[in-house]
């Protein structure tokens, strides 16, 4: 499973090499590995793509637990994205995140969001929970890959903290679904 996460990060880098304006400086590359940069960008992109999904829950969910979880995750994302972006800036990565426009595992697609926006109550809850579970599981998977293969200690530590947070979010999701 961990090798899959590492493979995913490497494949994302190969398919999305940054333009010269987005390449890290020589000093930054000494500290941040390509795995670090890929993890930071992928995690930021996952958060960006999940945001519209989370914003739908308070108005459409039948389960107040799911709605509260979505609201909490939306707030937590901003803090998480701030930490990710700070490390990306230190790595010398600027410009547009090349991963935000890609459909990758754990990212709700435009079609997913359109379908979800048309649902309410129980149907919304079921589809939302499935999409949220995929998102959180992918966050944990890529964070585990960073912990195993990352180079920069602060990126690995952030990955460890985020993996713990998102594992807790998954447990909260399962409780909300079971209620």
Task: Report yes or no: 170 and 143 within 8 Å, Cβ to Cβ.
Answer: no
Q: How many domains does the chain have?
A: 1
66 in a domain, yes or no? yes
101 in a domain, yes or no? no
Cβ-based neighbours of 110, under 8 Å, separated by 6 or more: none
DSSP 38-106: HHHHHHHHHHHHHHHHHHHHHHHBS-HHHHHHHHHHHHHHHHHHHHHHHHHHHTT--S--TTTTS--TT
- pLDDT confidence of residue 101: 84
Question: How far apart are alpha carbons 41 and 45 in whole angstroms?
Answer: 6
- pLDDT confidence of residue 98: 87
| pTM: predicted TM-score of the whole model, two decimal places | 0.84
113 in a domain, yes or no? yes
35 in a domain, yes or no? yes
Give the chain's radius of gyration (CA, Å): 16
Task: Report yes or no: 44 and 155 within 8 Å, Cβ to Cβ.
Answer: no
Give the CATH number of the domain where residue 67 resides: 1.20.1260.10
15 in a domain, yes or no? no
Domain region containing 169: 2-10+31-95+106-178
Per-position pLDDT tens, the chain of length 179: 444 444 444 444 434 444 433 444 444 445 999 999 999 999 999 999 999 999 999 999 999 999 999 999 999 999 999 999 999 999 999 888 988 888 999 999 999 999 999 999 999 999 999 999 999 999 999 999 999 999 999 999 999 999 999 999 999 999 999 98
58 in a domain, yes or no? yes
Give, as one character, the DSSP assignment of residue 31.
H
- pLDDT confidence of residue 30: 53
- pLDDT confidence of residue 16: 47
119 in a domain, yes or no? yes
45 in a domain, yes or no? yes
């Amino acid at each position: 499973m961990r090798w899959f996460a590492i493979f995913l990060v490497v494949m994302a880098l190969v398919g999305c090499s940054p333009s010269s304006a987005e390449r890290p400086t020589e000093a930054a590359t000494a500290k941040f590995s390509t795995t670090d940069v890929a993890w930071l960008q992928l995690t930021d992109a996952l958060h960006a793509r999940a945001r519209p999904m989370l914003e739908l829950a308070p108005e459409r969910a039948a389960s107040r637990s799911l709605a509260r979880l979505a609201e909490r995750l939306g707030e937590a994302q901003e803090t998480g994205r701030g930490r990710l972006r700070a490390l990306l800036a230190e790595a010398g990565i600027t410009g547009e995140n090349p991963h935000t426009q890609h459909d990758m595992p754990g990212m709700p697609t435009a079609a997913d969001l359109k379908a979800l926006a048309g649902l309410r109550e129980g149907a919304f809850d079921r589809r939302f929970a499935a999409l949220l579970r995929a998102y959180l599981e992918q966050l944990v998977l890529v964070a585990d890959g960073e912990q195993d293969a990352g180079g920069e200690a602060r990126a690995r530590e952030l990955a460890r903290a985020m993996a713990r947070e998102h594992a807790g979010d998954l447990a909260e999701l399962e409780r909300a679904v079971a209620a």
